[in-house]
Amino acid sequence: MKSSPIAGILGSRIRGAIAEAEALKVVPHAGLRGRFRELLLTRLISQLMPPSCIALHGTAVDTEGQRFALESGKRKTEDDILVVDRDRIPSLLFAEGEGIVPIEAVLARIEVKSVLTKQELRDAVYGSMSFLKVPLVLPDEDLQGGAALQCIFAFASDLAEMNEHARLTQLVQGERWDCIEGGTWNEETPPIHALCVVGKGMWAFGSRSKGEASGWGMCPADDVHSEVATFLALLLNTLPALREKRRSARLGSHLIDVEQQFRPV
């Protein structure tokens, strides 16, 4: 992490959030522990968001008001953290930081895990694959390269030796997925774009400079939690380009079917 004042202040806030997450171990209810940790990460991200964006908890829906189905047959009904473009297309907020979001407004989706296990990782991958298959009402040129970032952030992991990227790669390539056509995912566009585990490291898919071929990179964990700072930095650096891809998004597509309800007189 750099030695600038901004980096120093962010570093202290990251350490504070992780210390609070650790203190939550005494909360007896697992669901509450998880939700409180989501709020800690949301607060940390929100402090860095530009005015045009907001981090919130809620549900992203398509123009039919639907969400994708899970393997269990149930429908995925909520998202831990959504980073949303608040200028292009509005969300329906029911409380500060909570609401219903048109899927075209979603710039990033973050699943938060107290402890990342193989099953938790599999559920997150399945959810990301399913989310990325939901159609967006956007021009074709905006759909190309404009998918919302799919991220996983975990405060701990049950892995002892294998690194998280290896487990993710093995999982994605080694199984068939009934949520996508053909059952396998294109290796050039992974369903998870960033994976951060406190104390383990941060892995992300993309390019470090313009014109460079995309691939996986990583930031090892250290005493000042550079893995978390790098996760936040890459998230923030990616938002401007994704916002441009949403420039044609309109709320009207979620209100009426223009072809059926708006006819010539």
Please report the pLDDT score of residue 141 as a whole number. 84
- With respect to residue 260, please indicate whether it lies within any of the assigned structural domains: no
Read off the pLDDT band of 192 (50, 70, 90).
very high
Contact 68, 130 (CB under 8 A): yes
Residue 11, φ and ψ in degrees, nearest 5 = -60, -40
> What are 26-55's pLDDT values in tens digits?
998 888 899 999 999 999 999 999 999 999
- With respect to residue 71, please indicate whether it lies within any of the assigned structural domains: yes
Q: Where are the alpha helices (DSSP H) in 109-247?
A: 118-133, 140-143, 164-174, 226-245
In the chain, the number of structural domains is: 1
Rounded Cα distance, 51 and 227, in Å: 25
- With respect to residue 263, please indicate whether it lies within any of the assigned structural domains: no
Mean pLDDT across the chain, nearest whole number?
87
- With respect to residue 264, please indicate whether it lies within any of the assigned structural domains: no
Residue 70, pLDDT above cutoff 80: no
Radius of gyration of the chain measured on its C-alpha atoms: 19
**144: helix, strand or coil:** coil
Mean pLDDT of 144-158: 93
- With respect to residue 265, please indicate whether it lies within any of the assigned structural domains: no
> What are 76-121's pLDDT values in tens digits?
568 999 999 988 888 888 888 898 999 999 999 999 999 999 999 9
What does the block give as tokens for 238? 């990616």
- With respect to residue 210, please indicate whether it lies within any of the assigned structural domains: yes
- With respect to residue 261, please indicate whether it lies within any of the assigned structural domains: no
Domain that holds residue 27: 5-255
